[in-house]
Structure 1
Amino acid sequence: MLHAALYGGEDQAVILTYAWDRLLVDPIPGPRRADNFTGLEPLTRSVWTVPATAQPIPPAGSTLPRLAAALPHTFALLDPHHGAEGIARQMEELVEHLAPTSIDLLDVGGDVLAQGDEPTLKSPLADALTLAACCQVNAPIRLLVAGPGLDGEISPDVLRPLLGPLVHTFTSKDVEAISTVLEWHPSEATAMLAATARGVRGICEVRDASLPVPLTDEGPTVHEVDLDDAVSRNNLARAIMTTAALDEAEAYSREICGFSEIDYERNKATWLTGQPPTKLEPDDILTRLDKYQREARTRGVTHTTFRRITEALNLSGSQREELRQLLISRPEQYAAPLWRIPTED
């Protein structure tokens, strides 16, 4: 969406991104590395592209091959297992190999601007690693924040004075380029970004923690933020600047933020392993959905994500698509790609 809006649809982009799909897609905690896949193709000495024919090696899971099949861009694997120094090395190699006309670091939600002590912060490590790496690269990099507050980790009120110039406001026309991807991809932040671009407003409940996220006119905006200012604010990014291993960066996260998001995934994965499988029976699911919706209404919720419904109904990530197909048989509640909570039964 960003590439099409800012640069037009003619030239393709190289999208360097994590294979870190969390437990809804990947039952293994933490991010994946190149040796978790078959069919990757070398681009530089330490950078591998993920073509549509690549496959994660079971039990690992990843949405990247399917994204590569759906979109015209080149996807390359961001590997944090060698710390911020390893990511910086990957980016330096790409700059030398591709000689790009522009480099944008995009964060949806704005938690890249977290100080590290915010009580609502859930996943600071992925953003801090990338931010720490980018400020070490000998090339101009523009930091962009899309959908301020849409990840539910930093409130829009906190982010507003930290944002720089408005770069773009997404519209429903921008969303059409990825509309087929939104039908299956589990990213909640992207779903809410697309929904606000289509005009959806209200309160969206997300994640297993039932976080309420306001859907406002700020949702579809993209702002530039000074990269050095972001690093000065992000205590974790500064601390992990010279890390050469993910374990080392994770230790800093525990020290500075009081937790590691990978520890949370480890604990949740252990809990999920002990849960008996739940069969998806349509009548039972719809009854439980109605109960969830009644409870959500009392919290002021107007919309939710299919990920949130999957977890609220105690279903596994592998059942998310089957659940979605069942629910969109109620098209009056499908505010694509979100699910609208009815005002009354």
Structure 2
Amino acid sequence: MKTIEDAFDKSRALVFGVGGCGDIVSTVPTAQFLEAHGVDVILGGVAWERVVVDPQPGPRHFDDIENIDRLNDSVALATDETRTHDGIEFAETNVARHYDEDVILIDIGGGARGVAAGLNDACDQLDVDLVVGTDAGGDVLAAGNEPGIKSPLTDAVMLSVLTHLEVDACLGMYGYGSDGELTLDEVKDGISRAAKRDGLLGAWGLTPKIVGELEDLLDVVTTEASRLPVDVARGKLGDATIRDGARSVELTPASTVTFYLDPEAIAATSDLDEHVAHTESFEAAHEALSSAGYDTELDLERSLVTDDQT
């Protein structure tokens, strides 16, 4: 894609949250944007909830999940009945219930290569000719040297996936620092690196109609990073905290904008992508980042569970 307007010529788009853990909420503005231009949209997300929702650290795999229609080893259709065998519902479950329609659930177990193959197959089965991965907060833009990175694993894998799809793909960055990982300057630098490679495809902001829809959805889906842009749209600006006060966030009007970027332009300056791009399992992706010196969200979740047990 050369510009976001190219998306308006597509027939059906998959718009999915790249980070799991409620990122599916960040798909809604993009879905509405595309639907307003006549594009049919199916929503989706990664099967990984934070430990406050799912006490088992790490992503869930399809063998752990019931009431899904598997399209392949990496992609399934989820409904309002989808849950783990031990009763944990995903954000995607609640979104399917809220909209009364199936959503896509992605099993990240195949690593970058496996998930890309699965999504390519799913796009063929579902007649999808555009994939947009959205991220709440902007940590997916990380080059790798930012000290505040807390969750590089899923974002890096799914960014790499977007660069290996056979249909057109782009990355939507929503929330502008609302996850408290990258500073506003670091988010700006990420966008700048993409723009220097002709990778800034466009932008679109929240409207009162979309804010109202998001507020309804946020009543049933737990997420902080995707909620803060709605707060900004209602007039809240300045400093805020998330994660029980563990992270600070600066809210600006830019929080209400989704920036559309060429994933290849982001990956080209990402050390994280370099480490995970050729992985064929989730474990290999985690080991690659760990060996490179990165702490991941899996490490964080394991430590939190260990602390709770001691």
Instruction: Name the TM-score, length of structure 2 as normaliser.
Output: 0.82
- In 1, the alpha carbon distance for the partners of 2:102 and 2:233 equals 25
Task: Give 2:146's aligned amino acid.
Answer: E
Q: Do the aligned residues in 2 keep the contact of 1:49 with 1:75 (CA within 8 Å)?
A: yes
- In 1, the alpha carbon distance for the partners of 2:242 and 2:283 equals 28
**TM-fit CA distance, 1:188:** 0.8
**TM-fit CA distance, 1:202:** 2.2
Alignment of 1:81-160 (within 5 A): 81-160=109-188
Could you list the runs of 5+ residues in structure 1 that have no partner in the other structure? Answer: 275-345
Pairing partner for 1:23 from 48, 51, 54: 51
**TM-fit CA distance, 1:9:** 9.4
Q: Relative contact order (alpha carbons < 8 A, sep ≥ 6): 1 or 2 greater?
A: 2
Alignment of 1:32-43 (within 5 A): 32-43=60-71
Structure 1 pair 8/169, CA: closer, same or farther in 2 (3 Å)?
A: same
- In 2, the alpha carbon distance for the partners of 1:237 and 1:269 equals 28
Instruction: Name the TM-score, length of structure 1 as normaliser.
Output: 0.74
Task: Give 1:146's aligned amino acid.
Answer: Y
Structure 1 pair 140/166, CA: closer, same or farther in 2 (3 Å)?
A: closer
Aligned to 2:271: 235
Q: Do the aligned residues in 1 keep the contact of 2:176 with 2:255 (CA within 8 Å)?
A: yes
SS at match of 1:180: helix
Q: Do the aligned residues in 2 keep the contact of 1:147 with 1:221 (CA within 8 Å)?
A: yes
Q: Do the aligned residues in 2 keep the contact of 1:28 with 1:59 (CA within 8 Å)?
A: no
The C-alpha deviation readout for 1:133-158, integer Å capped at 9, x for no partner, is 12111221012211211111111222
Task: Give 1:134's aligned amino acid.
Answer: L
Task: Give the number of equivalent residue pairs.
Answer: 274
Flag the structure with larger Rg: 1
Aligned to 1:321: none
- In 1, the alpha carbon distance for the partners of 2:265 and 2:189 equals 12
Could you list the runs of 5+ residues in structure 2 that have no partner in the other structure? Answer: 1-27, 192-199
Segments ≥4 residues shifted beyond 3 Å: 9-12, 43-46
Structure 1 pair 257/229, CA: closer, same or farther in 2 (3 Å)?
A: farther
The C-alpha deviation readout for 1:166-215, integer Å capped at 9, x for no partner, is 42011332121232221242211111122122332121101146211011
SS at match of 1:219: helix
Q: Do the aligned residues in 1 keep the contact of 2:44 with 2:92 (CA within 8 Å)?
A: no
- In 2, the alpha carbon distance for the partners of 1:42 and 1:191 equals 30
